[in-house]
Amino acid sequence: MSTSERRAGREEAIVESTRRMIAAAVLYSHQVAEQLRLGPSDAQFMTLLDVHGPLTPGRLADLTGLKTGTVTGVLDRLESAGFVRRDRDPTDRRKVIVSLDSEQIAARVDPHYAGQARHLIALLRRYDDRDLAVIADFMSAVAGEPMP
């Protein structure tokens, strides 16, 4: 087998593994949402708020590609469940800022993902710092984010 064939095989294996990982993550997220009595996209909104910090509903609509009415429905469910709160922007009282309730997230959501986090950390310990830099660069690029 030539070097280019080996490379093509590795690239194909990475693409397929990534597809399986995404499917597993989406399905697990749906299971967690169901256990928390939330809609399937609700957990993703919590992830966006965790990653980006407090956001306006309009910014959430931009990030998700969903219509503002749909975003309002998701935020209504999350607020009713106690996972988010809506506050007036202190600099512009016309705006609403959506924030996570960190205590509720820690108590009710984080336990669902703790095992996955431990598993991932254990896997990453197999790699040296140089490997981790490559993995971090790849994952950031896959996620569409600039490398920190």
Q: pLDDT digit string (tens) for 6-52?
A: 999 999 999 999 999 999 999 999 999 999 999 888 888 999 999 99
* Alpha carbon distance 37, 55 (integer Å): 23
Class of domain 39-100: mainly alpha
The predicted pLDDT at position 40 comes to 83
**Can you tell me the distance from the alpha carbon of 60 to that of 45, in angstroms, rounded to the nearest whole number?**
8
Instruction: Give the pLDDT confidence of 129-145 residue by residue, as tens digits.
Output: 999 999 999 999 998 86
Sequence spans of domains, the chain: 1-35, 39-100, 102-148
How deeply is 90 buried, as exposed, middle or buried, from its count of CB atoms within 10 A (0-12, 13-18, 19+)?
A: exposed
Count of Cβ atoms closer than 10 Å to residue 131 Cβ: 11
Quickly state the pLDDT bin for 89 (edges 50, 70, 90).
Answer: confident
- Alpha-carbon separation of residue 114 from 28, 60, 61 (angstroms): 13, 26, 28
pTM of the model: 0.79
Distance, CA of 124 to CA of 32 (rounded, Å):
24
What are the two backbone dihedrals, phi and then psi, of residue 40, each rounded to the nearest 5 degrees?
Answer: -60, -35
pLDDT tens by residue, 50-64: 999 999 999 999 999
